[in-house]
Amino acid sequence: MALSSSTSFLSLLNTTDYSSSPLLKLPLLHFHSSSSSSSPHFPTRPPLIHHNHNQVATISHKWRTNVSFFPAFLKKGKDANTIKEELLEAIEPLDRGADATPEDQQRIDQIARKLEAVNPTKEPLKSSLLDGKWELIYTTSQSILQTQRPKFLRSVTNYQAINADTLRAQNMESRPFFNQVTADLTPLNARKVAVKFDTFKIAGFIPVKAPDTARGSLEITYLDEELRVSRGDKGNLFILKMVDPSYRVPA
């Protein structure tokens, strides 16, 4: 049983299905007057201006249009922090995704895509923000969520650590099984890696060599100092929060 539980955290980096494997934005109006410099003059009443009702309505409409331009411009897209708050509020009651309905999943995906559109880190694999230990707070991967098991047999917390400098990654489960797996990463571009798992550790200490088929890919679509969004090669969505930027993956 301990050996089969190792498959539950493979897809955090590798979303290949191992379910059959044993491991797995007013113009100003200016009035001008002129007079002869040699003639005395007195202040005169301003000329009466007769307004045409339709003209006034047109000017008023243009004024309202110009004024309303600014709020529309300022509201063009929410900033990343606002979207993150929206995303975290939507995720919070879903038990990392285990209690998500298809409608919940669609909503989370839509919010995640809005966040990805304002990604401040265009080349995450070259950023030190990637390094460290991350906690998985939402996923669509059923194998990681272990929804086929009773709740008391599901991992309470899942972590993923990545070190971009050494191109190493590690997935870790908390209780009840404490399984781990390490992997080598091969950059495919500035935000996507191929993943090759090498060693499982059952219960955190019993090493088992990963099969050659334990491969996949992961694209990092949003990254800042506290949140990361990734998508796997099987379409699964992964949202993680930083918990320890100093953590190093074992060589």
Token pair recorded at residue 203:
């219960």
| 147-179 per-residue burial string, b: 16 or more CB within 10 A, e: under 16 | eeeeeeebbeebbbbbbbeeebbbbbbeeebbb
Q: How far apart are CA 123 and CA 137, in angstroms?
A: 23
> Count of CB atoms within 10 A of residue 130's CB?
20
148-188 residue pLDDT tens: 899 999 999 999 999 999 999 999 999 999 999 999 999 99
Q: Please indicate, yes or no, whether the overall pTM of this predicted structure exceeds 0.85.
A: no
pLDDT at position 232: 96
207-244 residue pLDDT tens: 999 999 999 999 999 999 999 999 999 999 999 999 99
33-91 residue pLDDT tens: 333 334 444 444 444 444 454 554 444 444 444 444 444 334 445 799 999 999 999 99
